[in-house]
Amino acid sequence: MPQLQASPDIDFHSDTYRDAYSRINGIVIEGEQEAHENYIRLAEMLPNHKDDLLRLSKMEARHRKGFEACARNLSVTPDLGFASQFFASLHENFQVAASENKVAACLVIQSLIIECFAIAAYNIYIPVADDFARKITEGVVKDEYSHLNFGEVWLKDNFEATKEEVEAANRQNLPIVWRMLNEVEKDAKVLNMEKEALVEDFMIQYGEALSNIGFTTRDIMKMSAYGLVAA
């Protein structure tokens, strides 16, 4: 039997770590900012859920502040330029879907894809985070589950009417997620987060969400792996 290697001790203050952290933390801050804005936009699109969505949006703003504090704690300046590039495609797709009033597509992008991505990444980060960031991230990830749940419930209630829009949004956006993961693979590795584990956790969370919405195992296996191999 081969051996399981013990995780190496991480030097959170080394230049290498802080350099990689500046990009990963930038992405996280930008991601929370996107989420904040997306929920405000969704609140306009879904007036019946306005209060809920504005509450989620406020939580996202709090998350951003928490992660900004994590950067300060390690004396890191987040690379926000890199981060907004990183999110450009998803950002663009959300804006287009919103302008066409495609609620389901917007929820797929924000409440399923971005939230599942965040949940996967935060869960994998927590065991290898510095003490300060761990506490903050643990608090955040709990909130993200409730955001995912919002999307699941709405898409479940409107399953038949929006199924095709969900599938189309999946086809359009999932390949972007794989590309994004590839872009951060190296930096994530420095933080002791492995791409394979990130992809697996994302697929688990995303598959679970699709299942709660009403998709079958067969649909889920197709949808959650869509475009992965090409990436």
Partner 1 sequence: MFGLIGHLTSLEHAQLVARDLGYPEYADQGLDFWCMAPPQIVDSITVTSATGQVIHGKYVESCFLPEMLATQRVKSATRKIINAMAHAQKHGIDITALGGFSSIIFENFNLERITRVRDIDLDIRRFTTGNTHTAYIICRQIEQASQQLGLDLAKSTVAVCGATGDIGSAVCRWLDARTDVDELLLVARNQTRLQDLQAELGRGKIMALEEALSLADIVVWVASMPKGVEIDPTTLKQTCLMIDGGYPKNLATKIQAPGVHILSGGIVEHSLDIDWKIMNIVNMDTPSRQLFACFAEAMLLEFEQWHTNFSWGRNQITVEKMEKIGQSSVRHGFRPLLLPPLT
Q: Among residue numbers 138 through 177, which ones bind partner 1 (CB under 8 A)?
A: 145
Interacting positions 130-169 with Fe ion (CB under 5 A): 144, 147
180 binds partner 1 (CB under 8 A): no
CA distance linking residue 118 with residue 62, whole number of Å: 15
Give the range of 55-63, 88-96, 181-189, 196-204 binding Fe ion by CB under 5 A. 55-63
Contact between 221 and partner 1 by CB under 8 A: the answer reads yes
**Partner interacting with residue 63 (select from partner 1, Fe ion, none; CB below 5-8 Å by kind):** Fe ion
Member of 46, 54, 128, 199 binding partner 1 (CB under 8 A): 199
Q: How far apart are CA 129 and CA 135, in angstroms?
A: 9
Using DSSP's 3-state secondary structure scheme, residue 180 falls into helix
φ, ψ for residue 102 (rounded to 5)?
-90, 90
User: What's the farthest any 2 CA atoms get from each other in the chain?
Assistant: 58
- Among 8, 67, 73, smallest CA distance to 32 is for 67
Which of partner 1, Fe ion, none lies near 226, with the C-beta cut-off 5 to 8 A by kind? Answer: partner 1
* Interface contacts to Fe ion, rule CB under 5 A: 32, 35, 60, 63, 144, 147
